Amino acid sequence: MTNLQPPQQSSFCVRFVTSQRDPTTDPLVLWLNGGPGCSSLDGFLSENGPFHVDSDGSTLYINEYSWNKVANMLYLESPAGVGFSYSDSGDYITNDKEVADNNYLALQDFFRKFPEFATNDFYVFGESYGGVYAPTLSLKIADGPANINFKGFGVGNGMSSQYYNDQSLVYFAYYHGLIGDTLWANLNTYCCAYGQCNFYSNNDVYCQESLYKVYQVIYDGGLNLYSLYMKCAGGIQKNFGRIQAEMKNIFQFYKFDTKMAADTSRNFAPPCINDTAQWTWLNRADVRTALHIPENVQGWELCSQTISRTYGRIYTTMHDFYLALLSKGLRVLVYNGDTDMACNFLGGNWFVRALNQVKTVDYQPWICNNQVAGYYEQYENLTFLTVKGAGHMVPQWAPRRALQMFESYLSNTPY
């Protein structure tokens, strides 16, 4: 495991873990958590990394479903200011384009330091707002010098389209029993006309009032936004206010106010998520020393309010990025845990269908451990896949199925 600190004005925290199988020939995969403003060390320590932290943050234990069983894994803290990464200038204002540029510089720096991996098949995977990071970086790689053996990218529960995410969330809420018939009738009366509904950017005041009630159910109702059927860590009273990164991802057109409770907790994890183990372990003095974290660098937080508050969102959809990348013959996997509400599976599916690719495999179940693991469909080089009963962080909450999915994608074999 190696630390890197790439581009000019910023120091990016990178963790590199070689494959347990054959590092010389196995693929190299870059992993990016989202937010924007959330740390990829969460992916490393609670999702698909080789080690996880026990509940009190005292020790590490081996993750038997780590993705480095089949690939060399590279975890990048992005943008600067996230996790242990930092800006030498102290300027943390950034945007989608700048993040893609800096991530590309960091990647180039990695290959300069480790040229022996330049011939390995290379993939980019992003989760949540990584649904923007992954395709924007991927296009820079695909259009750049041919010094990376780039094969494709994957997006898990990604923010691929604000329009489809907002539109589908209302249907998700109704058909999962979160809103009643009265509210549903009002939504159809005030937000729909001539057989078409606009939940994304509707100027009708009564429609907006109805949508705000949907918003309140999802964000202020005590539900776990990231996994509908899981408990909210800390209980309902803790569901408000630590960080609004994901809240900015939904219904942006309306700029709804979210109830914010006073928060005396020690960090800014997303609502209903318990990051105590990672936070405790990473902020231990001996761990910081072992990871070569300079004394002047901030303590680790799962998500940075500084980045979330000032981040400049440029793209509302990844549609054109996907079409450009697919036209280059790159392989793409879009997967969703189907109980997530932050980036729900229905919006992901609608986004994929809107790319108008030729379908080669119709929607059908895939199997893991002799059980239905979810469903998938194939569009030439593009796969859409669901993970049954999993939430936003699929490798964390469905680790065995996530590893099988990942290995099938890398080997280009049936799911």
- Catalytic machinery residues: 128, 340, 392
123: which strand partners?
Answer: 29, 152
Q: How far is CA 277 from CA 45, 92, 366, in A?
A: 9, 27, 33
Helix axis angle, 96-113 to 130-143, nearest 10°: 60
Instruction: List alpha helices for 251-302, DSSP H.
Output: 276-282, 285-290
Cβ atoms of 200 and 208 closer than 8 Å: no
Q: How far is CA 63 from CA 208, 391, 406, in A?
A: 45, 19, 15
Q: How far is CA 305 from CA 128, 220, 295, 382, in A?
A: 17, 20, 21, 34
CA pair distance 265, 197, nearest whole angstrom: 40
Instruction: List alpha helices for 151-273, DSSP H.
Output: 162-175, 181-191, 205-220
Query: What is the phi-psi region of residue 296: left when phi exceeds 0, alpha when psi lies from -120 to 50, beta otherwise?
Result: alpha
CA pair distance 117, 140, nearest whole angstrom: 19
First to last CA, the chain: 30
Q: What share of the chain is helix, strand, coil (3-state, %, to 5)?
A: 35, 20, 45
